[in-house]
Amino acid sequence: MDFLTILGLAAATLTTSAFLPQMLKTWQSKSAKDVSYTMLITFIVGIFLWLIYGIFRQDLAIILANFITLIFNLIILWLKIRYG
């Protein structure tokens, strides 16, 4: 693995893991009232487009980061719908 791939994977790990505390807090508190639908849906669409971009570029860091971030944010959206 070359330096740029390692750098990309490190960046992907940090930015993706940033959503984990929000997801866990929403899950545990059963409250998502402070999470904006507009921000969440806009972000999900953007992450999905980044995922498609990464797939076309065959860039592992972009694919992994955006796939996992997309999953986390879909869970947050589901929690927002469920707990409002």
pLDDT for position 22: 85
Q: How far is CA 35 from the centre of its chain?
A: 14
Task: Name the residue among 70, 15, 83, 12 with its Cα closest to residue 41.
Answer: 70
Hey, how many other C-beta atoms are within 10 angstroms of the C-beta on 73? Answer: 21
Instruction: Give the model's confidence band at 68: pLDDT under 50 very low, under 70 low, under 90 confident, else very high.
Output: very high
A 10 A CB-CB count for 33 gives: 9
Q: What is the pLDDT of residue 52?
A: 97
Specify the pLDDT at position 16. 85
CATH 1.20.1280.290 fits 3-83, yes or no: yes
What Cα–Cα distance (Å) separates residue 4 from each residue in 20, 29, 60? Answer: 25, 39, 11
Q: pLDDT tens-digit profile of 17-64?
A: 888 898 898 889 988 888 889 999 999 999 999 999 999 999 988 999
At 78 the pLDDT is: 94
